[in-house]
Structure 1
């Protein structure tokens, strides 16, 4: 039985919202960290920071996004008595929108939101005769950890600004009289994510 254009549009609408939720929900911890850091709630931000220090935390979140999308798909197909390969084939547009939205949300977070927040946290670049620049290559598995690295660097006395360059470079503008490269590299966050000076 051929689906009408109305059914197709309904499938797209039904698939978009669960896809959006599936993409965003697993990232609620890092979104919460960003918001709490911005508004200055350091206690809760400190709790969430421990989760962000887990190296493959964000890969787990992407996997969770896809699991949530799959649960949504199974629920939707089951409710419509189409929980079979033939049913999935019939509702392929719904599934395409569902998984497509989930993947696009994750891509948007990793390529736009997290790099933007990392640079926002790093502050405006101010170059002067009293400052030096150090480029760090940090072994972060993805850009999701970049806001945390920028925030930790910026909290160090003597750091003027931090600029994140995808995938894993941090250009640090600092005052040599107040802080040394050795002190920068000895930050607690670099025990979880190794940092080396880029020549």
Structure 2
């Protein structure tokens, strides 16, 4: 082997090594890039699924709460219409038919209590503590309102339009605060 052939062999090995190393480096970077893109895509899909699920839960809370608020509003309207005719009377002084009207409507409201549990559980899952607190306060106000009107020891509460209006304002204020909390959470998603 001549010196010329030896130099050509060295150049050939040198070129082969450079091409091989270049391929290995290129392959490694390609693998790293594809792997990173795949991980990012999976992360985006997970975030997208989570966001979609949160939006679905928020929509369910909104629908259930609107049904619930509608029942509350109807209960208040019923009390108000009865009070308009019977201003200043005590519940015990109402006619039996009016008492049964109020009790009957509250029975419908009691049937909707399962909505309360669904709403509270979804609020807990979404970690919406303030909305949960407001909703529970609203439930407590409605129960107190009902007890003021229907419960035996409290049947001596006078039914006045002013009392009904004030209770209604309290409940509406809580309902509006609850809606603002839902909107704020939706905006954060």
Structure 1 length-normalised TM: 0.31
Structure ID, larger Rg: 2
Higher relative contact order (CA 8 A, sep 6+): 2
More helix by share: 2
More strand by share: 1
